[in-house]
Structure 1
């Protein structure tokens, strides 16, 4: 049980989520035999992180919710709020956006009561992302600018990176692409200084989107190519699919349609492999448009039909 807690951060930092999941789940039954101990809650947190990394989001919600409840029983308010922040991030992944916002408010309220400004800034980083996903871009920008300020007060570079990345996305929602590019470039620089390749790949992917929005298509192609390469080297297939899909959109905007078709086809295959129907449907929609541009009309109709079918199935799952 002690070993599971000690090696958890090692597995997490190296994204060995299968190993982290196995070790944490094996240790949980032992931890539950120890009354009035935080060990079970710590393991549930690790287990939820592993499930999130494996894209098993509903199970991650359950694990992190259990962790928050256990910390509440132990009167550990700070850890409860941190667990609630994890729950909110899981909820974002399954597009339960209003629930995520409510959960982030709960976490932030606890940190305010504890006068823990540093942790409050971390929650603001998450809340800003939720506002961005809801399309409340002004609220997102306000929350994220404050999150950036707080992270700099505490010299917390990893949180500053996350806040900058989310801020850039919110600025893109307001069509302030040049500002977004500057923010994403700052994020890339921080990730490189921290030698955090995975976060650098995310930052480059976001930068590519902003460059495409600004009409700087060749620079966007370069950013997304770099991002895809990083994720491929790190064996993160889902993130690779996102970057490759972004690359396809850049190529399409640059009217390099055959290359775009190849990128979109790769993205569709990756999203099928990682069981992300929503992203698969988005990639199919772009593929259909690219096929239409080069006169491959039947293939375009087929791709479009598959996209509609996938979106319909996803809507049915979300309604359950």
Structure 2
């Protein structure tokens, strides 16, 4: 499926632009929603910003609050990844407010969680904790254990940023267990990586290494090379902290390779630079 999407991406992105014609608008908006996760996975953020912007405009013309909120929410994710944090906060806030107006509490939770991720990235950890807690509670009320796991994982990151490491460990452990329970191997890998970061921050380096190794298995299983690169970088940092420079250098080099495969040249160069410093 990924290979097909890779080969057809340019045409699919172009097809979303047909949303500007009324007769194609509904189908093109649905197509933009289907492409969101794929474009995020491939880190094609310019394309994602393009399709989300087109979908948002079409939904607004049609007076469709839910489709508009979905587009705003996805646009916020793309803007965050593109380093445009304040615009992303505005986008997620628009999405949250539209969902609230429409009475869609379930999707509102998604906007809260994404808003929390962006607040955390812009250094507003306490506000992020509040946002992720809102999301978690809404998912619990809805009985959505899968998305509850996502919210727990995000909450753990915010708690860690707020120097509440023990609470972060608990949150990531909750997330890992929930991902395991619902059979989401990729989500479980992300939780293992974040748990490793929290463990390392409390000095539990060997436990962190074990967590990163679990995370790496899952990332490689799904060809998620960007997150594999991040996990390998974390492994390198852990080995370096444990005074194992040879192992650290090897993992930095593997991280650079994974980032290169993920089309993330800036991250690849940073990992290569760390490896060179240990030569």
Same fold, judged at TM 0.5 (above): yes
Match of 1:198 among 172, 175, 186: 186
Structure 1 position 144 matched with structure 2 position 114: no
> Rg larger in 1 or in 2?
1
CA distance in 2, matches of 1:176, 1:131: 17
SS in 2 for 1:35: helix
Verify the 8 A CA contact 1:49 1:60 in the aligned structure 2. Answer: no
Report what 1:129 is aligned to. Answer: 117
Deviation digits for residues 263-301 of structure 1 (CA, Å, limit 9, x no counterpart) = 011112222333323323442454355x1xxxx4xxxxx
How far did 1:22 drift?
Answer: 6.8
Retained in 2: the 8 A contact 1:17–1:51? no
For 1:63, the equivalent position in structure 2 comes to 51
Which of 243, 246, 264 is the matching residue for 2:252? 264
Task: Give a deviation string over 1:150-171, Cα, whole Å, max 9, x none.
Answer: 1100011222112111111111
In structure 1, what is the Cα distance between the partners aligned to 2:59 and 2:17? Answer: 17
CA distance in 1, matches of 2:129, 2:17: 43
CA RMSD of aligned residues (A): 2.3
- Stretch deviating more after TM superposition (25-34 or 150-159): 25-34
The answer to whether the 8 Å contact 1:137/1:170 transfers is yes
Matched, 1:21 2:21: no
Instruction: Measure the CA separation in 1 of the matches of 2:146 and 2:161.
Output: 23
**Alpha-carbon distance between aligned partners in 1 of 2:66 and 2:18, rounded to the nearest angstrom:** 24
Indicate which of 11, 21, 38 corresponds to 1:50.
Answer: 38
Match of 1:217 among 201, 205, 217: 205
**Equivalent residue number for residue 87 of structure 1:** 75
Structure 1: how far apart are the matches of 2:20 and 2:114? 30
CA distance in 2, matches of 1:179, 1:74: 45
Q: 1:28 to 1:143 in 2, by over 3 A?
A: closer
Q: Could you tell me how far apart the structure 1 residues matched to 2:269 and 2:96 are? A: 35
| Residue in 1 that maps onto 2:173 | 185
Q: Is the 8 A contact 1:241 1:270 kept in 2?
A: yes
Bigger shift: residues 252-261 or 27-36: 27-36
Which runs of 4 or more aligned residues in structure 1 lie more than 4 Å from their structure 2 counterparts after TM superposition?
14-17, 25-34
Matches within 5 A, 1:305-316: none
Q: Secondary structure at the match of 2:83?
A: coil
Instruction: Tell me, in whole angstroms, the C-alpha distance in 1 between the residues paired with 2:13 and 2:175.
Output: 35
Is 2:267 the counterpart of 1:279? yes
**1:239: which partner in 2?**
227
1:50 shift after superposition: 2.6
> CA–CA distance in 1 between the matches of 2:137 and 2:267?
33
Q: Which runs of 5+ in 2 are unaligned?
A: none
Say if 1:22 and 1:49 are closer, same or farther in 2 by CA, change over 3 A: farther
